[in-house]
Amino acid sequence: MKTCSIILFICSLFILASQASILKGSRPNIILIITDDQGYGPIGANGHPWIKTPNLDRMHGQSTRFERFLVSPTCSPTRSAIMGGRHPLKNGVTHTILERERMSLGTVTVAQHLKAAKYNTGIFGKWHLGDEVKYQPNNRGFDEVFIHGAGGIGQAYACSCADAPGNKYFDPVIRHNGKFVKTKGYCTDLFFTAALGWIKRMKEAEEPFFAYITTNAPHGPFIAPPSNTKRFKDIGFGNTQAGFYGMIENIDENVGRLSAKISEWGLDENTMLIFMSDNGMTGGGSGRPGKEVAKGYPFYNAGQKGLKGSVEEGGVRVPFFVRWKGKVQENKSVKKMAAHIDIFPTFAELAGLKLSKNLKKQVDGRSLLPLIENPEADWADRYLFSQRARWKTGSEPNDHMWKAFSVRNQRYRLVGEALFDMEKDPGQKVNIAKEKPALIKKMRDAYEIFWKEARPLMVNEKVPMSPVRPYHVWYREQMGEGGIPVWKVPQL
Q: What is the pLDDT of residue 381?
A: 98
**Which residue, 271, 235, 300, is CA-closest to 32?**
271
Does residue 31 contact residue 274 with C-beta atoms inside 8 Å?
yes
pLDDT, one tens digit per residue, over 260-294 is: 999 999 999 999 999 999 999 997 666 666 666 78
Question: How far, in Å, CA of 36 to CA of 31, rounded?
Answer: 16
Q: What is the pLDDT of residue 5?
A: 46
Q: Which residues in the chain show pLDDT less than 50?
A: 1-20
**Within 10 Å of residue 2's Cβ, how many Cβ atoms?**
6
Classify residue 326 as left (phi > 0), alpha (psi -120 to 50) or beta. Answer: left
Beta strands in 118-207 (DSSP E): 120-126, 144-148, 173-176, 179-182
Q: Which CATH number fits domain 28-373: 1.10.10.10, 3.40.720.10, 3.10.20.30, 3.40.640.10?
A: 3.40.720.10
For residue 447, how far is the Cα from the chain centroid? Answer: 23
Half-sphere exposure of 379 (CA within 13 A, CB side): 23
Half-sphere exposure of 431 (CA within 13 A, CB side): 10
Q: What is the pLDDT of residue 13?
A: 43
pLDDT, one tens digit per residue, over 131-162 is: 999 999 999 999 999 999 999 999 999 999 99
* Domain 28-373 and domain 384-457 have a common topology: no
Backbone phi and psi for residue 213, each to the nearest 5 degrees, phi listed first:
-100, 110
Class of domain 384-457: alpha beta
Q: What is the pLDDT of residue 284?
A: 66
Domain assignments of the chain as residue spans, ordered by start: 28-373, 384-457
Question: How far, in Å, CA of 394 to CA of 461, rounded?
Answer: 6
Q: What is the pLDDT of residue 17?
A: 46
Question: How far, in Å, CA of 349 to CA of 106, rounded?
Answer: 22
**Which residue, 134, 21, 100, 179, is CA-closest to 388?**
100
8-state DSSP, 466: P
Does residue 425 contact residue 127 with C-beta atoms inside 8 Å?
no
Residues 6+ positions from 56 with CB-CB distance below 8 Å: 43, 44, 45, 251, 252, 255, 275, 321
